[in-house]
Chain A
Amino acid sequence: MNTHPEETLQPTPDTIRRQILDFLQERIKTEVAVDRDLFASGLVNSMFAMELVVHLEQRYGIAILGEDLKLDNFRTVERMASLVLRLLDTPVADHA
């Protein structure tokens, strides 16, 4: 259990990657590498991509809108983690 308050507010890249991997494991029952192309490998279709969007928004309290919905942002676990980190740093007013 993580007890550092600053880390509770802002998860580390490692934590985010692990949490996304857990979600993928639960939903598609497959272990993936953090740099595996989920779409090229056929593991993910557009329905599941939307689930991923909603999951990341809900889990991290972010809004993934507009140009951030580009598929490239969801292609690998690493890219999703980068997107989450970037949006966590974005003031809420910008994506209200």
Chain B
Amino acid sequence: MPEWLAQARQGVTDLVGDQAAEWDLAGLLPTETLRTLGKLGLLCAEVSPAYGGVGANSSENGALTAHVGSLCSSLRSVMTSQGMAAWTIQRLGDARQRQEYLPRLTGGELAAVAFSEREAGSDVTALTTRIRADGDTVVVDGRKTWTTVARYADLIVVFGRYGDEGAAVVVPAETPGVTVRPVPNPSGCRAAGHADVDLDAVRLPASAVLGGGGQQLQLLVTTALSYGRISVAWGCVGILRACLLAAGSHAGTRRQFGRPLAEHQLVARHLAELMAAEQAATRVCEHASRCWDERSPEMVIATVLAKYIGSTEAARGAAAAVQVLASAGAQDGHVVARAYRDAKLMELIEGSSEICQLILAQHAVAQSH
């Protein structure tokens, strides 16, 4: 493990301490904690040192993401969001935009990425948010829903229609016409700052449109989501690790009928399945990250697979962990109670399990001609 990664893991462990339960119950992360991690470059660790970043590769950032995910999925969601914003700017932006925005993302500012709308979740073609050119400015109108981190964000990367094609535009949250309304009581990642974002005649310099706009909307969204998916997948590895630790420790010490729970075979099976799930999710994430690091085109499908396996295994594994801990873990804020709710949300976002299945099935067909 590189020195920076060992230090970063310890740093996050110290910073989170025993507060994850409190954050979950309050539905709020301390902004100062987020800015501290942001200034260390750890919220988007793959950004190059040229922009003040750590310059991690996908495998290293994955290890960090899993570690944060094992402590607090809300905080891990902030990493996913910030990293996705940085990746989107890196890919879609021009040299001047990378120079303008990336140092801000490694300098303590927080970023959200807004895709979903009321009538447009998985179906990107149904997006109605419009980015309209007007002289040397653009005007953005739309209603975004369920934007992770929007509540804390200084910058919101908004995807919308631009003429007949698409564009992503960087919207400072303070711009007149931007209204951020936190989603009340989300069922998972409760402190991740999910919010609806209204954009009413939001006027920005044309230089805020990444790469000048006019790219295909689906390709834009696919590009951005790929980062989100690998990050969520690693976060799910973290959820599984936290569950394995909690269930293993409880089953090894709590005694019923004169012996530890782990010696009751039906309970032992839960532990075996949890361990298998954690290992399977880890390996499939390692493979996907290796594809990213080698810039292999297989990264696209390997990432969907990692997200699919990570999230479904985490949801199943967290349910097993709650079962093993029973009343000891059946209280909001408890690590397995959080895992149970957070993991379920991971099956819904960044491409639901069903959307991932469709992509995998299409791939299987294309490969079998």
Contact = CB atoms under 8 A, between A and B. Distances in A.
Interface in A80-96: 94-96
Contact of A28 (B50, B218, B366): B366
Interface string A37-55: 0000000011111111111
Contact of B366 (A29, A46, A69): A29
B95 A54 contact: no
A71 B223 contact: no
Interface residues of A, number: 27
Interface of B: 50, 90-95, 97, 165, 210-212, 214-216, 218-223, 226, 294-301, 304, 359, 362-363, 366-367, 369
A50 B88 CA distance: 13
B214 A67 contact: yes
Given A29-B369, A66-B94, A70-B215, A55 B222 contact: no
A33 to B, nearest CB: 18
Can you list the 4 inter-chain pairs with the closest CB atoms, starting with the nearest? A66-B211, A29-B369, A46-B218, A71-B216
Chain A binding surface SS class: helix
B297 A65 contact: no
Contacts of A45: 218, 362
B297 A69 contact: no
Contacts of A65: 90-94, 211
A8 interface: no
Given A45-B362, A66-B91, A69-B220, 16 more contacts: A28-B366, A29-B366, A46-B219, A47-B304, A48-B300, A48-B366, A51-B301, A55-B297, A58-B297, A65-B211, A66-B93, A67-B211, A69-B91, A70-B215, A71-B165, A71-B215
Contacts of B304: 47
Nearest to B50: A96
B215 A47 contact: no
B295 A57 contact: yes
B361 to A, nearest CB: 12
Contacts of A50: 219, 222-223, 226, 300
Contacts of B50: 96
B219 A69 contact: yes
Contacts of B301: 47, 51
A36 interface: no
A69 B211 contact: yes
B290 to A, nearest CB: 13
A18 interface: no
B159 to A, nearest CB: 13
Contacts of B211: 65-69
Given A45-B362, A96-B50, A66 B222 contact: no
B214 A54 contact: no
A95 to B, nearest CB: 7
A54 B215 contact: no
A67 to B, nearest CB: 4
B297 A51 contact: yes
